Each structure stands twice: as structure tokens, then as C-alpha cells.
Amino acid sequence: MNEIKTKRLRQADIATMAGVSISTVSRVLANEPGISESVRQHILKVAAENGYSARTANGALRGSLALIASDGVTGGLSVFYEGIVEGLRAGALDAGVPFEVRLIRENRATPDVVHEYMQTAGAGGLFLVGIDPSAELCAWLEDAAIPTVLVNGTDPQLRLDGASPSNFFGAYEATTRLLNAGHRQILHLTGSHRNTIRERVRGFRAAIAEVEGAQGRLVSMTFQGSAIHEAHELTAAVLAENAGFTAAFCMNDFIAVGVLEAVTEAGLRVPDDFAIVGFDDLPCALMTNPPLSTMRVDRVALGREAVGLMVARFKDRAAPARQICHAVVPIAGGTVPHS
């Protein structure tokens, strides 16, 4: 076994270790039909564990690793990323792609660290979930020609493939719901360095700009501690100004919960006196009174779309990068009047 690992593995080596014929290994690595799923997964596992990275017949790397921003998994957003991982796993299984998941702090996602993670996992492709790669990491990924897909992320220069919710259009729609309900002074509670969140700010501003007399105010959050608590305190401070704001579009549903609590404590009726729209359609949206009006992100679909991008990138390394923008759907809830 050690001897085999010291040289470049051949399909014959994988066949010996897996206890199957060379033709079976060849068909599995070429992703051909007619092989039982249990045999297919066994061969892919043996290939990945022995550093072969499940090369297909044409040499495309098939093993993949998802690095998830642990910064985002904390603070209550774990359910958001669980849905994405579910979609990644399901898509990888359907495509016959060996797949592993690891958490990493975004500021640790340097070329050296990412390279080490990939070597340990025997991966040839990389999913960056909730991570906007630094210029240094982008340059390394390009130079090393590593198939990379941003999941719940976008590359402003479109150097890397990506799958994300329609953040601009979703925010535009969310704000329009409030404008259509007659609100003209609307808050947007937000705060992030991420490109996806900047797109939501753009959507908010675009919707406000289209309605004469409408005024929008960005309320910046630091996310130091509980997002719900911070949103509560910031909203209470704005309401104390008596500046006339009667609605809020929130970056996510946890923030919307905090806004709802502050508005209710101020003695305002929701949605009659103050309307609220969240984003993501997390489970907490159904737990408030009234339930939150929000925008649904199909997180499982995002994961599956990302796998499709990865498979296409394996097949054609030189193809122009693509960004898939997945529509978000308005959820009625009870914090915006029904039209």
C-alpha cells in the first residue's frame, strides 16, 4: 500500500484496493451508468482516500471540498448553511462527486491554509460557502487553476463561478412591498463586508429611488453579540427620534425579530402602524406574533446549483465563469398588510 502511494496512482491500483475490475473503476471514474450506487460510492471513497481525487477518464478532478465560514454558522445562521450543505451533499451524490465539508474562519482562508485543507481531503475542487475570497486567495486559485464555486457568494470581477440568491432583486422586491403598502420612510437594517449583502443595499436604494417622496435610511449593525438584541436597540433609538419612519426592510429574519420586538414595545401596531419585511425565510419567521413577512431563499437549490457549476468546471476548465442568480420568493406573513 505504501509503495502505491509513493507514485501516481493508476486505475489498476484503485481496482486492486477496491477489489473490483479495472473496467468497473474506469466506468465509475468516467461517471458512466450501469454501476450500482454502493459500488460506485465504494470506488470513489477508495480513490479519494488514496489521493487519486477520483480522476475521470479525461483527467478532470472530481473530488471536492466545501469550506464554510464558521463566522456565519455562529450567531443563529447555522440553519441557513445547513440547507446549503444539504443541497451540496445531494447534488454531489447525484453527480458521483466525493464531497467533504469543513468549517474555517474567513480571515484564515489564506492560500496556504486552503491548500492544506484540500490536500488533507484529497480534493481537486473547492466550494467557498459564505466566504468572499481575498485578492490573494483569488490570485492563487486562478494561478493553480483550481475549480472553485462561490456558494451564497459573488465575485464582482466574475473570475470565479458562483451561485447566490437574487440579492439585488430580492431586496428590490422586499422594499417595493413596503412602498406599495404606502410607506414612504423606510429603514434598512444591514451591515456586512460581504458582496451579497451589498447587493441587498443596492436593491433597497434602487426601489426607494423609483418612488417620488420616498426616503430610505441605512441603519448599520456591528453584529457584536446578538443580532436580535442589537436590532432591538437600534430600532428603539430610531423610534425615539420621532423622525417618521414607519417601516423596515431587514437584512435577515433575525434582525427583523429584533425590530418587531422594539416596535411592539413602543406601542405601535404591526402592520398597521409599522411594517416589516425580513429576508431568508428562516424558521424563526413563523415563531413571531404576527409571523414575519419575508423573502424565501431556497438554500437546498443553491447547493445543488453549485454542484452543477462544479461539474461543468471540471469538464471545461477554460470556460468563462458563470454566476447563477436564484430567485427569492415573497412570503406573506403578517408584518406587511396584504394587498
Question: Residue 145 belongs to a domain with what CATH number?
Answer: 3.40.50.2300
pLDDT at residue 47 in the model: 79
The verdict on 225 and 314 lying in the same domain is no
Beta strands per DSSP E along 145-214: 148-151, 161-165, 185-190
Q: In whole angstroms, what is the distance from residue 95 CA to residue 308 CA? A: 8
Say which residue the cell 491500483 belongs to.
Answer: 13
The verdict on 274 and 205 lying in the same domain is yes
5 assigned to some structural domain: no
Looking at every residue in the chain, the average pLDDT score rounds to 88
> For residue range 204-244, what is the model confidence (pLDDT) as tens digits?
999 999 999 999 999 999 888 888 999 999 999 999 999 99
Lowest-pLDDT range of 9-18, 135-144, 271-280: 9-18
> Model pTM greater than 0.85?
no
pLDDT at residue 176 in the model: 98
Domain count, the chain: 3
- Of the pLDDT bands very low, low, confident and very high (cuts 50, 70, 90), residue 62 is low
pLDDT at residue 57 in the model: 39
> For residue range 147-175, what is the model confidence (pLDDT) as tens digits?
999 999 999 999 999 999 999 999 999 99
pLDDT at residue 51 in the model: 66
Q: In whole angstroms, what is the distance from residue 275 CA to residue 288 CA? A: 14
pLDDT at residue 41 in the model: 81
Instruction: Let me know: does 64 contact 99? Beta carbons within 8 Å.
Output: yes
The verdict on 124 and 155 lying in the same domain is yes
Residues 6 or more apart whose Cβ sits within 8 Å of residue 321 = 155, 158, 159, 160, 161, 162
The verdict on 159 and 171 lying in the same domain is no
Cell triple for residue 83? 440547507
The verdict on 69 and 147 lying in the same domain is yes
User: What's the average model confidence in pLDDT over 57-71?
Assistant: 68
> Which of 260, 277, 297 delimits the end of a domain?
297
Higher pLDDT, 321 or 76: 321
Instruction: Let me know: does 130 contact 151? Beta carbons within 8 Å.
Output: yes
**Tell me, what amino acid is at 233?**
E
Quote the domain boundaries for residue 245. 167-297
Q: In whole angstroms, what is the distance from residue 190 CA to residue 205 CA? A: 12
The verdict on 245 and 274 lying in the same domain is yes
pLDDT at residue 26 in the model: 72
> Is 80 exceeded by the pLDDT of residue 86?
yes
> For residue range 263-297, what is the model confidence (pLDDT) as tens digits?
999 999 999 999 999 999 999 999 999 999 999 99
Q: In whole angstroms, what is the distance from residue 127 CA to residue 308 CA? A: 12
> Is 60 exceeded by the pLDDT of residue 76?
no
2 assigned to some structural domain: no
